[in-house]
Each structure stands twice: as C-alpha cells, then as structure tokens.
C-alpha cells in the first residue's frame, strides 16, 4: 500500500495536523489536495507550536517532500508569508522540500474583497460564515474557466490579460456592494513581484507523484476542513467550496483512484463547528462552554470560538459512508476526563419520525433533533496515554460504543496535542 488519505469526518478542526505530522514519519511524501489558507493546522512538537494554514503538515518533518496539489487554491502572498514565518522557527522550505502544482489556481485580491463584501451585505441570517479569504470566489473563477494559475506567472502577457478580464468582471460587483474597485495594473505588478519566489516551487505534480508511486514511495494525502463541509455531501450551503472527502484526493493531486489504498477519518470524541449552519448536537449552554474551554476550541486561522456539542454518531457514520473511510483517529478524548455523564447522538427525530442520516434539505437540517444514548464518564486522566493499558475501563467502553455506532474501527487514538501522545491500533501504511 503506497497511498493513505487523511480527511476530517466532522466539520473540520478535528486535529488532522497532528495526525498527518505523526503519520508522516511513516510517509515519504505529503500532499495537500484541496482548500486554501482558510484551513488551519496546529502542530505541537517538543513544546514548540507550529500554525500552518496552507503548507502541508509534513513540511516540519526533515527529509520529506510536501506538495500543494492542483485542487488547492493558492494565495501566493499568504504562501510566502507562511514560508517566511516558519523559517523563523527553524523550518527552511526549499524547492526540494515543497512542490507546487503548476496548474493550481491562485486566489486574487478580487476574491478576498468579494468574499468579505458578500458576507457583509448578507446580514446575520444570510451569512455563510466564511473566513473572508477569497476561497469561494477563487473556486468560482476556476470552474468558470477564468482562473489565474501558478503557470501564468511565467507568462506575463497572459497574466496581465487574465487580470484585466477579472477586473472587468469583478469590479462592478464590488462597487455594487459599496466596495472600492481594484486597479488591474497594480494587481499585476504586485503578483509579478512575487513570481521569482513562487516559480521555483512550481512543477508537474501529477508526473512527480506517478514517479513516486512507481518507486514504491509512501504517499500521504492531506485533506482540509471536514466531510460535512463538502460542497456536495455537507450541510449545504453552509459548506466550503471544494470536495473535502477522500474521493477528491485523487482528482486534486493528479493520481488515479488506485493510488489510495486506505482512508483515515479524523474525529473528535465530541463535536465542534466554526461558523454558521446546522449543528444538531450543539450545546449552547454550560456544557458547551466547558467543552470549549477544556479543548481550547478556537479556530487556528480565525481564532473564532468553536461551537461545541456531544459526539454525533449519525453524522460521522454518514461521513464514513460517503468518504470511503476505513478507520478513524479519535482525538481529544482527554477533554472528556472528569465528566460524570456523556451523551452520544444515535439518531435524529424529524417531524415525529426517527431517521439515521442528515437530510439534504436546508430546512430539514435545521429542524432535526438528536436522539441520545447516555453513557457513564470517567474520573481518571487519559491525557498523554500511549497505550490501551493506561486508559480507564469506562473510557474504553465509550470508544467501543462509538466504533459500534459508526461501523468502523478506531485505528489511532490521540490523547493530547503532543506528537508522541498517540496510541496506534492499526497502521494505515501496513500492507
């Protein structure tokens, strides 16, 4: 087995960064295949904290190759700022350690301006809860076949022409929202000034990945956000603008589906969500606040407080089915330490009928009510445990109940943000 995909199985923020970093010790190549710098991963390594938004988590591992695939939308300025920031922490990124797909679309200044203008004009009821960083508008331009791509940096006439066309299209919309139009010549100059730093990283990623695969290299595909933010399978329209499930790992990087042999889903031992949208098990009360404080639930990128609630087995099971997930990583079990009683959502009730999936209708998603199992908590600490023998029996019972409800095994258990506080049950890279 040469390819393992790691994806979120909730609404993102499940702890993928630590897991990808930990698994990258077994991998040769780490590939990010969708999203942009709206996503964030926090890595804690020997007490040092690394906050990544766009770079793959494997970038902090010596001797590994990190890749930004064609499915990622790249803000070139944000990419260089992140490279410079981690250089200050002793991680030096070079064209040998980071490859960027030459056919990846870029996020232009128009996109962020449009994103923020739309959210501002939508009002409280109409907001989607975006980060305002231009991800959605960038994907819109990509699908509409007018994106500015990494390869265009090497072709100044094409670059200037594309930016003029974007200005003609987007400036009237910005002005309609009360914003200021952007000068296409200034945008072109600013982007051209970055080209010499960006282009050395650009390459034919699909070809490099094919070479790695044929050589038997272990490839780790890293997703951003989570399955319930998938533009097709998530809580639409309160979703991101890309496919977050593992099926996009192939398309977003340029490998065939056969290049992915195992899909690992990441889920917290409870549930969180950032931004707007339905959240059946949300606890907008003292319990939710306690989970947020214990789990330090603030967005890596936005620092927005995350909404918190009980574990939703219905949602995670649905994510596993649509995403082809073979096993899960259960994170933040230690956050539940000391709680006398826990709840797990086992079904929803909608207009008097019990259902076992999250419906597609926006109205129905807002109306469903969780059906709970109540289970016993544990008083002993699980924080830092590195073997099953160190876990309280009641905690193990909680884990087994989750496995039963989601119909998948726990392959890895994470008991703190630290890299080594991990219990390996099944090695995704094992043949």
pLDDT in tens, 304-363: 789 999 999 999 999 999 999 999 999 999 999 999 999 999 999 999 999 999 999 999
Question: Hey, which residues does 348 pair with through a beta bridge?
Answer: 355, 370
**380 included as an active-site residue:** no
Residue pair 67/36 in contact by the 8 Å Cβ criterion: no
Q: What integer pLDDT is reported at residue 431 of this predicted model?
A: 59
Q: Which of 144-148, 191-195, 222-226, 367-371 has the lowest mean pLDDT?
A: 222-226
State yes or no: pLDDT of 124 exceeds 70.
no
Lowest model confidence (mean pLDDT) among 20-34, 36-50, 149-163, 192-206: 36-50
- CA-CA distance, 206 to 72, in Å (whole number)? 14
Mean pLDDT of 267-294: 95
Rounded to whole angstroms, the Cα distance separating 337 from 27 reads 32
Q: In a 10 Å sphere around its CB, with 0-12 CB exposed, 13-18 middle and 19+ buried, how is residue 214 labelled? A: exposed
Mean pLDDT comparison of 1-5, 132-136, 331-335, highest-scoring range:
331-335
Is residue 130 scored above 70 in pLDDT? yes
- Confidence band of 299 (pLDDT split at 50, 70, 90): low
Asked whether 30 and 24 are in contact (CB, 8 A), the reply is yes
DSSP state of 342: E
Dihedral angle, C-alpha 399, 355, 327, 17, nearest 10 °: -90
Q: What are phi and psi of 415, to 5 degrees?
A: -115, 5
- Confidence grade of residue 303 (pLDDT, cut at 50, 70, 90): low
Residue with tokens 């999250």: 358
Phi, psi (rounded to 5 degrees) for 312: -110, 95
Question: Residue 125 pLDDT more than 70?
Answer: no
pLDDT band at residue 50, thresholds of 50, 70 and 90?
confident
- Residue 260 is encoded by which pair of tokens? 């992915």
Whether 375 shows a pLDDT value over 90: the answer reads yes
CA distance 197 to 195: 5
Decide: helix, strand or coil at residue 356. Answer: coil
pLDDT attached to residue 54: 92
pLDDT tens figures, 220-259: 999 989 999 999 999 999 999 999 999 999 999 999 999 9
Query: What is the predicted pLDDT for the residue at 48?
Result: 82
Say which of 37, 41, 170, 233 is annotated catalytic. 41
Q: What three-state secondary structure class fits 396?
A: helix
As to burial, measured by CB atoms within 10 angstroms (0-12 exposed, 13-18 middle, 19+ buried), residue 308 is: buried
Residues 13, 115, 230, 326: which is the catalytic one? 13
Question: Residue 129: its pLDDT value, please?
Answer: 67
Cα 119 from chain centroid?
A: 21
Torsion of CA 139, 140, 146, 152, to 10 degrees: -20
Active site residue 41: yes
Angle at 358 between CA 260 and CA 376, to 5 degrees: 90
Are the C-beta atoms of residues 82 and 32 closer than 8 Å to each other? Answer: no
What gap in Å lies between CA 396 and CA 400, rounded to an integer? 6
């Amino acid at each position: 087995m040469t390819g393992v995909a790691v994806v979120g199985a909730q609404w993102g923020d499940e702890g993928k960064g630590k897991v990808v970093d930990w698994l990258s010790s077994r991998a040769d190549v780490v590939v990010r295949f969708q999203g942009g710098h709206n996503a964030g991963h926090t890595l804690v390594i020997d007490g040092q904290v690394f906050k990544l938004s766009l770079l793959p988590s494997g970038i902090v591992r010596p001797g590994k190759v990190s890749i930004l695939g064609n499915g990622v939308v790249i803000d070139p300025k944000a990419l260089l700022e992140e490279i410079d920031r981690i250089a200050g922490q002793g991680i030096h990124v070079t064209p040998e350690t980071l490859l960027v797909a030459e056919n990846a679309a870029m996020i232009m200044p128009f996109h962020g301006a449009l994103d923020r203008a739309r959210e501002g004009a939508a009002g409280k009821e109409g907001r989607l809860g975006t980060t305002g960083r231009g991800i959605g508008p960038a994907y819109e331009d990509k699908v509409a076949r007018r994106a500015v791509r990494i390869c265009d940096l090497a072709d100044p006439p094409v670059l200037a022409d594309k930016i003029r066309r974007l200005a003609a299209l987007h400036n009237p919309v910005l002005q309609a929202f009360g914003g200021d139009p952007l000068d296409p010549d200034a945008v072109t100059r600013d982007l051209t000034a970055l080209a010499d730093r960006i282009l050395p990283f650009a390459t034919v990623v699909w070809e490099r990945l094919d070479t790695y695969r044929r050589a038997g290299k272990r490839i780790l595909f890293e997703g951003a956000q989570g399955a319930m933010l998938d533009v097709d399978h998530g809580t639409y329209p309160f979703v991101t603008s890309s496919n977050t499930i593992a099926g996009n790992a192939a398309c977003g990087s340029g490998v065939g589906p056969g290049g992915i042999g195992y899909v690992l889903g990441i889920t917290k031992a409870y549930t969180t969500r950032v931004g707007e949208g339905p959240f059946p098990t949300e606890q907008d009360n003292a319990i939710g606040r306690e989970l947020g404080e214990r789990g330090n639930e603030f967005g890596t990128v936005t620092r927005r407080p995350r909404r918190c609630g009980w574990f939703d087995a219905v949602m995670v099971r649905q994510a596993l089915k649509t995403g082809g997930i073979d096993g899960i990583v259960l994170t933040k079990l230690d956050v539940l330490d000391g709680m006398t009683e826990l709840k797990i959502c086992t079904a929803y009730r909608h207009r008097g009928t019990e259902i076992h999936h999250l419906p597609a209708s926006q109205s129905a998603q807002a109306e469903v009510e969780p059906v709970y199992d109540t289970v016993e908590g544990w008083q002993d600490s699980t924080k830092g445990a590195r073997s099953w023998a160190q876990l309280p029996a009641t905690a193990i019972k909680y884990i087994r109940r989750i496995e039963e409800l989601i119909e998948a095994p726990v392959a890895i258990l994470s008991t703190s943000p630290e890299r080594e506080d991990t219990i390996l049950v099944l090695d995704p890279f094992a043949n």
